[in-house]
Amino acid sequence: MIGGFLQELRWFLMIASLAIFAVVFVVMFVSIWRHHRSGETENFHASVAVELCWALAPFLIVVLMVLPTTRVLMNR
């Protein structure tokens, strides 16, 4: 019974990882394409909001993926 649940959890985390990858890739590609077409030379290196989002997003993704895994392993 636990083996089946672990298999389902594994597939859920794999699909979630692929979905996150796809969303990030599409957003990045569209952003690069729009920026290239606009010809703007705006610099985003000094933006604290962009830096915080860039740092916190992966952290939150990892935490959200670790929580169900830890719950399963602790109830084992």
Q: Which domain does 57 fall in, by range?
A: 2-74
**pLDDT tens profile 3-35:** 777 788 888 888 989 999 999 899 889 988 887
Q: Count structural domains, the chain.
A: 1
46's tokens: 């000094």
- Angle at alpha carbon of residue 71, lines to 69 and 76, rounded to 5°: 95
Q: pTM for the whole thing?
A: 0.61
Kindly state the average pLDDT of the residues 53-61: 88
Tokens of 49: 């909001």
